Amino acid sequence: MISTGLQKLDACLGGGLKEGLITDIFGKNATGKSQLAFQICINALKSGKEVLFEDTTGGFRPERLVEMIGSQNMDLKILDKIKIARITDSIQQIQYLSKIPIDNFSLIIIDNVSDLFSFEYSKKNNFLEKHLSFMKYMYDLSRISITTRIPIVVTNIVRNTDDNEIENLEKSISMYSHVKIKLSKINHEYTCQIISPFNSQKISYVISSGGLTNPS
């Protein structure tokens, strides 16, 4: 089990992220999605195993990761255990995990999971093909996570449609993600919510140099 670093969120999750599950962290820009993924990554590294971080947007910020590790007074050599994969197209994203050995990873992070699919299948007549391709990809991720017992974290964005916030490719991603965490920012207040019929609790958090924390 891997801690998210947010104690109240861990409590709602029964202790943290469990083996063999896909966790979907989604929300608008600047709500801390990648930073929460970094935080989970750092906690996973404490197991001694490696972490795979797939960056599909070119937005990976190693300096932020260094800052967060430094805030915990951890040895920066732990960064050597993070394998960074810069993914540049959906085909590479689909095939990547089948082409590398993954047994030694304690965690796999994909940041952002839907961006390349939306970009490459942006025309209206590609709508069905986009969803079928993405659903197949998510099915394969779910199968990998379940069979290897490696937790997988994906981040995703939301889009505004008719004044409603809808997660990008929401129907396709929800079929295969086991835990869904929505991050929101209203004015200057951040909230985190597990999307579940069994738990609708909203948790406040703040973003500091050390990452996401529950306000005191």
**How much is the pTM?**
0.94
Top CATH class of 7-213 equals: alpha beta
Q: Is the predicted pLDDT of residue 197 greater than 70, yes or no? A: no
Helix or strand or coil: residue 186?
Answer: strand
CA of residue 66 relative to chain centroid, distance = 19
Contact 127, 121 (CB under 8 A): yes
Q: Contact 14/143 with Cβ under 8 angstroms?
A: no
Condensed to tens digits (0 to 9), the pLDDT of residues 60-93 reads: 999 999 999 999 888 999 999 999 999 999 999 9
Give the Cβ contact number of residue 201 at 10 Å: 12
Domain spans, the chain: 7-213
- 105-149 pLDDT, tens digit per residue, is 999 999 999 999 999 988 767 878 898 999 999 999 999 999 999
In sequence order, what are the residues at sequence separation of 6 or more whose Cβ sits closer than 8 angstroms to the Cβ of residue 189?
204
Specify the pLDDT at position 196: 76
